[in-house]
Amino acid sequence: MKIVRQQFSVPFEYPVWFGRDVFGKESDVFEQFLNPGRRQVKKVLVFVDDGVALADSGILKKIETCFTSRPDVFSLVMPPQVVAGGEVSKRGWGQIQKTMTMIGNCHLCRQSYVVAVGGGSMLDGTGFAAALVHRGIRLVRVPTSVLAQNDAGVGVKNGMDEHNMKNFVGTFAPPFAVLNDFDFLRTLPDKYWFGGIAEAVKVAVIKDRTFFDEIAAAAPKLKRRDEQAIERIVMRCAELHLEHIRSGGDPFEMGSARPLDFGHWAAHKLEIKSGYTLGHGQAVAIGIALDCRYARNKGLISSAECDAVLRTLEGCGLPIASPDLDESVLAGLEEFREHLGGELCITLPKGIGGKVEVHEMDLPILRELIRCAS
């Protein structure tokens, strides 16, 4: 018997830009990142979240002008296409198949660009479709929600909900570029403004005590939708997310640990149980609250630290309980174990700013915590 062991490394690099008016007449951001040398005209197909199009009646024309005004740089293969946003955009194969068909009909090649303008779910679904065509069309994300700009839009994952499970199908496919335009946050409904803050609290609790204290202090401003406050939170959260992908040693999640999924085992079940009326960020906030109460019970954090997390979540306009939180949510533990590869690995806070991985959860304690929170 002969064994040839294959091993190689592939470096990935992509810019994550923060600014305003990315599609403006004076903006050269797309040219700078997508075609700086102008060696050939690049084909571009743009998909826009229907929530974004509804919030700004002029955005489609603005996007079209951004690319058609540079005919020596870009070829916009058709006017920007409005697609479903929110969870419906990644629920099953319907929208995914339509997006793939459109990419194919436009004859995009692997040197072309799919530009996705929208919230986290829409970016997930569009990114998944782009990753499948020709084994990967270059994806440019333009996140438009707080959660998309500070978490979902800057990572290397995409996918869709299937088999009654969140993100049951998907791929790891780093984007070509991520362009965060803060102007989009102004038109967000409160649900999506506040929801994204939960991801910032999540990463702060397990990675950065100073950042957590900053969020806690800024809570009144965040609840008033202060622009400067949210921009700082978005950027720092995104930096921590990118740092974890870059230096955590497992960017494509080959192991069992998923620190950035802190609070998510219950959140995913809550979203589905609510029929997706509960936003992802709101579900994550409830999941964080449950796991913090459990960590307090296990002596991993103090009562004062647990109270500080709960107080900060509520202070930022996020829930810490829901009528949908009942014992049926515990099924999320088994689904999480399966998704992780066979071994349950739950991230819990160890103090604020630290973390520990546990491989089992005390179900009687969880049941009592759920009962008390309901």
> Sign (positive/negative) of CA torsion 219, 223, 227, 233?
positive
Helix pair 280-297, 363-373: axis angle to 10 deg? 120
Token pair for residue 225? 């939708």
CA–CA dist 146, 193 (Å, integer): 6
Coil, helix or strand for 157? strand
Per DSSP, 150 falls in state I
Specify the domain boundaries for CATH 1.20.1090.10 within the chain: 203-238+255-373
Cross-strand bridge partners of residue 261: none
pLDDT band at 278 (very low <50, low <70, confident <90, very high): very high
| Three-state secondary-structure class, residue 256 | coil
**Homologous superfamily of 203-238+255-373 in CATH?**
Dehydroquinate synthase-like - alpha domain (1.20.1090.10)
127-145 pLDDT, tens per residue?
999 999 999 999 999 999 9
Burial of 314 (0-12, 13-18, 19+ CB in 10 A): middle
Q: Which of 252, 330, 236 is nearest to 291 (CA)?
A: 330
Q: List the Cα angle 285/291/293 in 5-degree steps.
A: 105
Predicted local distance difference test score (pLDDT) of residue 91: 87
DSSP 21: -
Only one residue has tokens 């174990």, namely: 337
CATH class of 16-187: alpha beta
What is d(CA 129, CA 102) in angstroms, rounded to the nearest whole number?
Answer: 10
Bridge-based pairing of strands 157-162 and 165-172 is: antiparallel
End-to-end CA gap in the chain: 60
316 in Cβ contact with 201 (< 8 Å): yes
Q: How far apart are CA 69 and CA 48, in angstroms?
A: 19
- Taking only the tens place, the pLDDT of each residue in 219-277 is 999 999 999 999 999 999 999 999 999 988 888 877 767 888 899 999 989 998 998 89
Q: Where in the chain is the domain with CATH 3.40.50.1970?
A: 16-187
Weakest mean pLDDT among 41-45, 107-111, 202-206, 337-341: 337-341
pLDDT band at 166; cut points 50, 70, 90: confident
**Nearest C-alpha neighbor of 233 from the set 214, 248, 250:** 214
C-alpha torsion sign, points 159, 248, 146, 185: negative
C-alpha torsion angle, residues 352, 357, 359, 364 (rounded to 10): 0
**Distance between CA atoms of residues 178 and 162, nearest Å:** 26
Q: Supply the pLDDT for residue 238.
A: 97
Backbone angles phi, psi at 122, to 5 degrees: -65, -40
